[in-house]
Structure 1
Amino acid sequence: MWGTQPDVSPPPAPGQHRDSRPPPGGEGVQPEDTAAAPLLVVGAVDSEVEGLKAMLAPLEQPVHTVSPWSEAFAPLLEEEPACILVDARRDGLGGLQTAHHLRDHERARHIPLLVLVGSTLAGADLLRDKGLGTVDCLLEPLHEELLRAKVGMFIELHRRERAMRAALARAELAEAAAHESERVLSTLLGNLPGMAYRCHNAPGFPLSYASPKALELTGYSAEDFTSHRVHWVDLLHPDDVQEVWAHIQAALHSREPFTLTYRIRTRSGEERWVWERGVAIYGPEGEFLMLEGFVTDITVHHQAEQERERLLTQTRLEHSRLEAILQQLPCAVHIVEAHSGKTVAVNARTEQLLGHPMIEVRSIKDFVRYRAIHPDGRRYAAEEYPLTKVLLTGKAQPEEELLYERPDGSVRLFLISAGPIWNGQGKLQAAVASCIDITELKRTERHQAFLASVSETLASSLNYEDTLAHVVQRAVPTLGDGCSLDILEPDGTLRRLAVSHVDPARAELAWEVARRYLKGLNAPCGPGAVIRTGQPELITDFSEKLRTGHAIDAEQLKLVRNLGVTSTLTVPLRARGRTLGALTFYYCRNSAHYSQEDQVLAKDLAHRAALAVDNARLYREAQLAVQLRDEFLSVASHELKTPLTPLHLKLTALMRELPRCCEGDTRSQGLQRHVEVAKRQVKKMSMLINALLDVSRLSQGKLKLELEDTDLGEMLDEVAAWFAPEAVRVGSVLQVETLTRVTGKWDRLRLEQVVTNLISNAIRYGAGRPIHARVTVEGDVARLVVRDQGIGIPPEAQERIFQKFERAVSERHSGGLGLGLYITRGIVEAMSGSIRVESRVGEGSTFTVDLPLSSPPPDARR
């Protein structure tokens, strides 16, 4: 509310006209003549006419003369003379006739006439009688002053008449212009997209004028406002009233126009945003009279602006988020403009990878200033970069490896890919490339592959000298131009175990240096010093001064010079706190040096080599210890078995004698039981000693078999009969199922040992439940199956129980040495058979032995 341009006149109130006057010379109005009005003299006597001209000369008006009435009058009358003088002093009738013609002429009837007549009064009366109605007449004699006075009066009247006509014409034009201006203003106000207004300086600022658009803007008509049924302030949103009033007060104080944006509520309750431009009108004394201005609906524009601000805020947020993500990405990202290749966005990681600031690019050709190189050292052409390929083809470029030479001389390997960015119209807008530095990854991959290969080589044989020689061969050229391995001997001397070099001739020089000068651990540098201190040694510049200082004699200096070593790296072979030797790597080129990664790889290689050496030595020592143990067990078993045999015989004899010699003695039965227990313990000890002896024989491969035709079913029946009392004693029922004549070429005693071990195990772990044993035939295989329903065996222990000194349960829950199943498998495999177990914890175990048959048995059962 309350706004318009200050230099635009306010519109008139309804029914009023503007009091405006167009300037002189406006359209349709000629300006007043500044030249003197001409005088017209009509006479018949030339001399008298000239005398009149002389009398009128002081008036400084042009004088035209003409003879009595003729056609010559018409052009002269067009000039609107100020006065026409008719000289009738000599020719009264002619002058009278001329006067009549002038009165009847359209152009001359309003021009003043001055008739000059004779001195006789009769002449004047004659003129009046003719009804000429002349303005005036002069009688002879003529007085110049009076003549000039009369003519001057007519001249002045003529001038005033012309001025009046011009004024009237201007007034008519001004009125017409005012009506046109009012019409144009009314049309404009009716078509403006808003409401023009005028309001008085009174409480509530009541409107004295409102344009017709008020109805469309507010729902109230102009008359609603001008009749004061509605006040504009009533339409203002309550939250905006204070701010609107503050802006108006500030504008009144500064006497400047004001511009407002606020909300109103229409007649229907709709909320609208409006824009107002207004100005204060002041009186002659500077007093504030009224406000005039213009108000228009900007709701749609405001909503669009709010949406624009929302989208702009969202865009800024997305841009900030994208920028943050871009900068936090672990890879380099480079976005360029389509066609030109100019950089649009880039993260800090990109410059870190390149090693230099981004290059200013104005066209694709400028990409040649980057430093990518081919494997052969050639620089990339501009169109070979993945980004430029996208710009030229519009196609995504898959990942590729790219070598980049940085300003510091280092060459890095990048993994880079690029793709297009299209706009909404499907046109190429930009291209983006992502890049990561895979130099270390590739180096690590090569190192890991190298170490894996070395580990495979080291694990391929326990002959460490051969495997280490292969490792030295593999180390070249991965870790240098040459490599040598020196081993510490038990006597404290060094022995060069292996040498490798890219140049075989220099390899021979390295062997020669070792043969002559590799003696002990007292050397100031090299393998001896590294073995002595246990610390790696890196010589980055093997200079001439260093060679001379460490050479023992001229011959050694010559050999070292011919070898051409420029840089060395020596690492110790340490395992379990002992230094076993040293690996030496060396370059014979000034341009090559050992990096931190190379040192880590060399240490890892040395550690693996040391473990291989140590493991080989431990294996040899373990083999020797096992051999000594087996020899001891063999001797001990024989020595222990020797006294048990007579002891067993004595106990048997004592059991026979006790009933006879102690007949009737109540202590006889007690002694009998003690002897039986002693006999069982002697038998158990004998079995343990036999087991130890069997282990020794199996370990040495000296288990001897006495093969003969043996019936497996008969063997199972005999062993089951032996163990039946023991099964009853623990609460188990031993059930046996066999076929007749299941015969094979087997060692009878050893087979008896197998069956005994399996049934004794079933009784021991059967938990007092039934035990099933059976012999079947499956093709050309005899099968012995022993199944119990006891505690079972965990899956992870089912393979382990066939090893020496192994059990499925703790020693506290089971006696014995843990050798029964080991010996059983050894015996079965020695007879070309196999043994396996199936078991679940808490559900028992099933042992199955398969032995080859010598002939197919009959199907009869017993």
Structure 2
Amino acid sequence: MQAAQAPRTSVLLVDDQPSDLLALERHLSPFELHLVTARSGEEALDRVKDEDFALVLMDVRMPGLDGLETARLLREHEPKRRSVPLIFLTGASREEMSVAHGYSTGAVDWLRKPVEPETLRAKVRVFVDLHREREALRRQQAELHEREREMLEESRRRAEEALRESQRTLSTLMDNLPGMVFRRHPDQTFALVSEGCLWLTGYSAPEFVQGTLRWTDLLHPEDLGRVELAAAEAFAAGRQLTVTYRIQTREGGVKWVWERAVGVYHPEGTLRFIEGFAADISERKAAEVERERLVTELREAVRLREEFLSVASHEMRTPLTPLALRLQLLQQAMKEKGPGLEPLNRHVEAARGQVRRLTSLADSLLDATRISSGRLTLRLEEDVDLAALVRNVATDFETQAARVDCPLVVEAAGRIPGRWDVLRLEQVVTNLLSNALKFGAGRAVHLRVEEREGWARLTVRDEGIGMDESVRTRVFGRFERGVSERHYGGLGLGLYITREVVETLGGRIHVESEPGRGATFTVELPCTPPLQ
């Protein structure tokens, strides 16, 4: 509330000297107060009966009732005015001791006459401001109480309207729900049932409510005992009952029903009613049966596929091994014959490359089937040097890297020993390096090996085509490829097998990449893997 709209602030001035009263009024004129004067203690007591004051300024020495006695009577006979602050005015130093004793009457301060204007205004300002703040707070509380009353009245009105609307809605819902709302007695006869019972059971609501038809009469004999036991246990413990079972309809058919119900109890704890909802779930049950059949067939198909892949991988390796050996022997024989067979030698070398590729594909398929069936095992060896292993693999790839114009930059200075499976670790490095050469052709590939706090870290970074977020999220999946198979080939198993091997060794792998900015694969392995 603005100052111009606020109630007036009254101050009572009590003094038997008119000149002193005029001086007080003049000193306090800047405050825009309502100044009420009294020339005696008796008159002051009359004034406080009719008006609320923010402050009382009272002279101590007055004829008749002096200031101290007036203050005492004010506190005794006007209890609601006890909180009004009172400042004594004294004209002689010998009265100061009396004024000090007068604090017991409720006085808060005293001033010596003649009153120094600034001191007077400073002290009055404090009590006036406190009074105005107190009055503002009181008005706010009154307004708040009024708003609360109005809100409670509005809430009550809305609650009544909501109750009427809820009753109407409940009635509509009960009649339109694809199921049956009910209230049953403990003996399974019905006190209330919605019209949905006709659609669910073939029996009408009056037949349930007015007759002797019990719900248990409709339950399938094979489900009756199970449902009764579940209901007895739930209602005895005060729990909600949720159960599915079959019923026999009026027409002789069978339906699957889903029921949820709660018990309503007497004050002494005995069961009074059973209230709940029952719905037909026959179609869902049929779908579940069909789904289970399809899942069983799918599992069998997956098992047969994995078995086929495993057998096919073994069968592919059987002719590839002697073929690779014969090609190697043929190439050696041609070298011994002289340089004239160099064109033929290139053809044999190309054939050997294709055999190696087929062998790698067969191995990948075999590893994938082992992983799927949980048969991927490790042969851990002590003191395996990861740095030396990476350098050796990089050396093996020098010819391939030169062919695609990819300089190999290896940072693996010191030894990084650990307890690992050498062949599987070589497989990890090989997969990552071949992947980098495939997608980063024409630019350098960087390999870095380091050790920190018992963990070895391998980083393989290329500067090739990179990948976006959609590819990064699935690149370690089985049979997943980051790019078209037509352009880069492969089964999409290399990174999948790499991740599985790394995780089996107790490590982790992740990739950072952006389109056009290459890719960085980071492998972190504990130097001492957990026990298998």
Distance 1:783 1:401 in 2: 71
Which of 166, 170, 195 in structure 2 is aligned with 1:413?
166
**Residue in structure 2 matched with residue 543 of structure 1 by the alignment:** 207
1:624 aligns with 2:377: no
| Amino acid in structure 1 at the alignment position of 2:480 | E
Distance 1:400 1:787 in 2: 71
Per-residue deviation at 1:620?
A: 3.9
**Residue in structure 2 matched with residue 833 of structure 1 by the alignment:** 507
Question: Does structure 2 conserve the Cα–Cα contact (< 8 Å) formed by 1:762 and 1:788?
Answer: yes
Which of 554, 578, 583 in structure 1 is aligned with 2:257?
583
Q: Using a 3 Å threshold, how does the CA distance of structure 1 residues 830 and 404 change in structure 2: closer, same or farther?
A: same
**Residue in structure 2 matched with residue 686 of structure 1 by the alignment:** 359
Q: Using a 3 Å threshold, how does the CA distance of structure 1 residues 571 and 399 change in structure 2: closer, same or farther?
A: farther
**Residue in structure 1 matched with residue 409 of structure 2 by the alignment:** 735
Distance 2:311 2:347 in 1: 31
1:751 aligns with 2:460: no
Distance 1:392 1:506 in 2: 48
Please show how residues 246-325 of structure 1 align to structure 2 within 5 Å.
none
Please show how residues 648-727 of structure 1 align to structure 2 within 5 Å.
648-661=324-337, 663=338, 666=340, 668-708=341-381, 709-727=383-401
Distance 2:200 2:469 in 1: 47
| Amino acid in structure 2 at the alignment position of 1:671 | L
Distance 1:610 1:757 in 2: 48
Deviations 1:117-169 (A, max 9, x none): xxxxxxxxxxxxxxxxxxxxxxxxxxxxxxxxxxxxxxxxxxxxxxxxxxxxx
Higher RCO (CA < 8 A, seq sep 6+): 2
Please show how residues 469-548 of structure 1 align to structure 2 within 5 Å.
480=182, 539-541=203-205, 543=207
| Amino acid in structure 2 at the alignment position of 1:751 | L
Distance 1:547 1:729 in 2: 92
Per-residue deviation at 1:798?
A: 1.1
Q: Using a 3 Å threshold, how does the CA distance of structure 1 residues 400 and 731 change in structure 2: closer, same or farther?
A: farther
Distance 2:315 2:428 in 1: 25
1:821 aligns with 2:485: no
Q: Using a 3 Å threshold, how does the CA distance of structure 1 residues 656 and 586 change in structure 2: closer, same or farther?
A: closer
Question: Does structure 2 conserve the Cα–Cα contact (< 8 Å) formed by 1:691 and 1:820?
Answer: yes
Question: Does structure 2 conserve the Cα–Cα contact (< 8 Å) formed by 1:789 and 1:845?
Answer: yes
Distance 1:401 1:796 in 2: 56
Question: Does structure 1 conserve the Cα–Cα contact (< 8 Å) formed by 2:183 and 2:274?
Answer: no
Q: Using a 3 Å threshold, how does the CA distance of structure 1 residues 760 and 547 change in structure 2: closer, same or farther?
A: farther
Distance 2:387 2:258 in 1: 68
More helix as a share of residues: 2
Per-residue deviation at 1:411?
A: 5.2
Return 5+ residue gaps in structure 1 as ranges: 1-388, 415-436, 448-474, 483-501, 508-529, 564-569, 573-579, 856-862
| Amino acid in structure 2 at the alignment position of 1:721 | T
Please show how residues 177-196 of structure 1 align to structure 2 within 5 Å.
none
Distance 1:836 1:586 in 2: 48
Deviations 1:293-334 (A, max 9, x none): xxxxxxxxxxxxxxxxxxxxxxxxxxxxxxxxxxxxxxxxxx
Distance 2:463 2:354 in 1: 28
**Residue in structure 1 matched with residue 458 of structure 2 by the alignment:** 784
Question: Does structure 2 conserve the Cα–Cα contact (< 8 Å) formed by 1:835 and 1:850?
Answer: yes
**Residue in structure 1 matched with residue 268 of structure 2 by the alignment:** none
Q: Using a 3 Å threshold, how does the CA distance of structure 1 residues 506 and 734 change in structure 2: closer, same or farther?
A: farther
Which segment is superposed worse, 820-829 or 610-619? 610-619
Q: Is the partner of 2:328 in helix, strand or coil?
A: helix
Q: Using a 3 Å threshold, how does the CA distance of structure 1 residues 391 and 608 change in structure 2: closer, same or farther?
A: same
Distance 1:413 1:721 in 2: 80
Question: Does structure 1 conserve the Cα–Cα contact (< 8 Å) formed by 2:256 and 2:285?
Answer: no
Deviations 1:179-234 (A, max 9, x none): xxxxxxxxxxxxxxxxxxxxxxxxxxxxxxxxxxxxxxxxxxxxxxxxxxxxxxxx
Distance 2:435 2:443 in 1: 13
Percent identity between the aligned chains? 41
Q: Using a 3 Å threshold, how does the CA distance of structure 1 residues 401 and 695 change in structure 2: closer, same or farther?
A: farther
1:642 aligns with 2:318: yes
Distance 1:685 1:832 in 2: 30
Q: Using a 3 Å threshold, how does the CA distance of structure 1 residues 750 and 592 change in structure 2: closer, same or farther?
A: closer
Question: Does structure 2 conserve the Cα–Cα contact (< 8 Å) formed by 1:480 and 1:586?
Answer: no
Q: Using a 3 Å threshold, how does the CA distance of structure 1 residues 799 and 479 change in structure 2: closer, same or farther?
A: farther
Q: Using a 3 Å threshold, how does the CA distance of structure 1 residues 391 and 728 change in structure 2: closer, same or farther?
A: closer
Distance 2:326 2:394 in 1: 27
Which of 433, 437, 442 in structure 2 is aligned with 1:763?
437
Per-residue deviation at 1:659?
A: 2.8
Distance 2:255 2:304 in 1: 29
Count of residue pairs the alignment pairs up: 333
Q: Is the partner of 1:792 in helix, strand or coil?
A: coil
Per-residue deviation at 1:854?
A: 4.3
Q: Is the partner of 2:481 in helix, strand or coil?
A: coil
1:806 aligns with 2:470: no
Distance 1:392 1:761 in 2: 73
Which of 503, 517, 523 in structure 2 is aligned with 1:843?
517
Q: Using a 3 Å threshold, how does the CA distance of structure 1 residues 581 and 772 change in structure 2: closer, same or farther?
A: farther
Deviations 1:757-805 (A, max 9, x none): 0001101111422111110112110000001111111112212111100
Distance 1:753 1:678 in 2: 23
Q: Using a 3 Å threshold, how does the CA distance of structure 1 residues 704 and 395 change in structure 2: closer, same or farther?
A: closer
Please show how residues 290-369 of structure 1 align to structure 2 within 5 Å.
none
Distance 1:705 1:819 in 2: 19
Q: Give the superposed CA RMSD.
A: 4.8
Per-residue deviation at 1:480?
A: 4.6
Q: Using a 3 Å threshold, how does the CA distance of structure 1 residues 582 and 729 change in structure 2: closer, same or farther?
A: same
Question: Does structure 1 conserve the Cα–Cα contact (< 8 Å) formed by 2:512 and 2:521?
Answer: yes
Distance 1:581 1:854 in 2: 60
Return 5+ residue gaps in structure 2 as ranges: 1-144, 190-197, 229-243, 247-253, 262-272
Question: Does structure 2 conserve the Cα–Cα contact (< 8 Å) formed by 1:404 and 1:413?
Answer: no
Q: Using a 3 Å threshold, how does the CA distance of structure 1 residues 831 and 592 change in structure 2: closer, same or farther?
A: closer
Mark the structure with the bigger radius of gyration: 1
Under a length normalisation based on structure 1, what TM-score does the superposition of the two structures give? Answer: 0.34
Please show how residues 27-38 of structure 1 align to structure 2 within 5 Å.
none
Q: Is the partner of 1:628 in helix, strand or coil?
A: helix
Question: Does structure 1 conserve the Cα–Cα contact (< 8 Å) formed by 2:183 and 2:275?
Answer: no
Distance 2:449 2:157 in 1: 68
Q: Is the partner of 2:410 in helix, strand or coil?
A: strand
Per-residue deviation at 1:392?
A: 11
Under a length normalisation based on structure 2, what TM-score does the superposition of the two structures give? Answer: 0.53
Per-residue deviation at 1:627?
A: 2.2
Distance 2:367 2:275 in 1: 61
Which segment is superposed worse, 614-623 or 843-852? 614-623
Q: Is the partner of 1:413 in helix, strand or coil?
A: helix
Q: Using a 3 Å threshold, how does the CA distance of structure 1 residues 618 and 506 change in structure 2: closer, same or farther?
A: farther
Question: Does structure 2 conserve the Cα–Cα contact (< 8 Å) formed by 1:403 and 1:412?
Answer: no
Q: Using a 3 Å threshold, how does the CA distance of structure 1 residues 401 and 634 change in structure 2: closer, same or farther?
A: farther
Distance 1:711 1:634 in 2: 32
Distance 2:295 2:205 in 1: 41
Distance 1:751 1:399 in 2: 72
Distance 1:752 1:788 in 2: 19
Deviations 1:409-430 (A, max 9, x none): x95339xxxxxxxxxxxxxxxx
